[in-house]
């Protein structure tokens, strides 16, 4: 599945169920353009995963909401819970590893941990 543009309006809907990888980027960002083909290539191998792109210039509310200060920033979300958020591009093998780690999690345990930390 090709990466899809996520906006302030669609973000929560697209990331609330299942696994989502989100690339925060901007058109003027050189490293973002170098990471984009890797992100697209891995997306073609995972039909069951949402691959979303957030243009930080067009969606400043999302940039502020998640404290994005450097781009590209990659976020991994499962069932609406942020599991990973790091600035910088990730090689294809790293994306594959993040997807497998997200799949392997017991989300009931993750939610208990998140609740206990709140």
C-alpha distance from residue 54 to each of 4, 12, 51, 109, 117 (Å):
9, 12, 10, 29, 28
Task: For residue 25, give the nearest of 80, 76, 88, 94 by alpha carbon.
Answer: 88
Active site residues: 29, 32
């Amino acid at each position: 599945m090709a990466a899809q543009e996520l906006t302030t309006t669609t973000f929560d809907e697209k990331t609330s169920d299942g696994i989502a990888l989100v690339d925060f980027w901007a058109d003027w960002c050189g490293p973002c353009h170098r990471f984009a083909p890797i992100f697209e290539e891995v997306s073609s191998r995972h039909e069951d995963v949402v691959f979303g792109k957030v243009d930080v210039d067009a969606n400043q509310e999302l940039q502020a909401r998640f404290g994005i200060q450097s781009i590209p920033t990659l976020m991994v979300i499962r069932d609406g819970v942020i599991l990973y958020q790091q600035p910088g591009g990730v090689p294809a093998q790293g994306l594959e590893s993040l997807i497998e780690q997200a799949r392997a999690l017991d989300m009931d345990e993750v939610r208990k941990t998140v609740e206990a930390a709140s």
